[in-house]
Amino acid sequence: MKIAKALLFTLMFMSGLFWFMSWNWTLGDYPPVEQMLSIQGKVVSISGRQNKGTGWLTLESGDRTLGFTLWIGRKTLKQYGDLTGKEVLVKVHPKSDFTSKKYTPRVSHLELVGGPVVADYTIEREKYFDYMKSADGLILFFRTLFFIFMALFALCFFKRGGKS
């Protein structure tokens, strides 16, 4: 019986962890557009393997040169020509760390100043929330499992009356 209790405890813990993680993911990944950090500057360079989703954008804003990770395809960038030297508006996550030498903030929104939008954050955000809505059934299933395992866990460790 001790093995069954240990297994039940493990399952309950894992389903609870999944429940918390699935709830927490939706809160901070895609904040509203108004909360995004906007940076305007001149493009110094765009490099990397754009078709693989691992490109880099170097932007000169004021007296600083900032590096960003760019997840925009090569075909999309070709539509707008060479962006080097052009004024752009970039939006990144508000909790982006510009002091890290290892990681650079990811560009969520990129548009030419006075021109077209190259990568639209609102469309990306809507796609994410549509995906989360379709995944709600699965998440609801695991949340229900969590409560069932919690009830079973309580029943295993507490006797229902009788001798104590």
pLDDT (tens digit per residue) in 63-118:
888 888 787 777 777 788 888 888 988 888 878 777 777 777 778 888 888 888 88
If DSSP codes are grouped into helix, strand and coil, which group holds residue 32?
coil
Please choose, from the candidates 84, 86, 75, 65, the residue with its C-alpha nearest in 3D space to the C-alpha of residue 119.
75
| Confidence band of 53 (pLDDT split at 50, 70, 90) | low
CA separation for the pair 139, 15 (Å, rounded): 10
Q: What is the pTM of this model?
A: 0.60
For 9-21, the pLDDT digits (tens) are 787 777 777 766 6
Class of domain 34-119: mainly beta
- DSSP-based three-state secondary structure for 144: helix
Residue extents of the structural domains in the chain: 2-29+138-157, 34-119
Q: Residue 68 and residue 43: Cα distance in Å, rounded?
A: 11
Phi, psi for residue 38 in degrees, rounded to 5: -100, 135
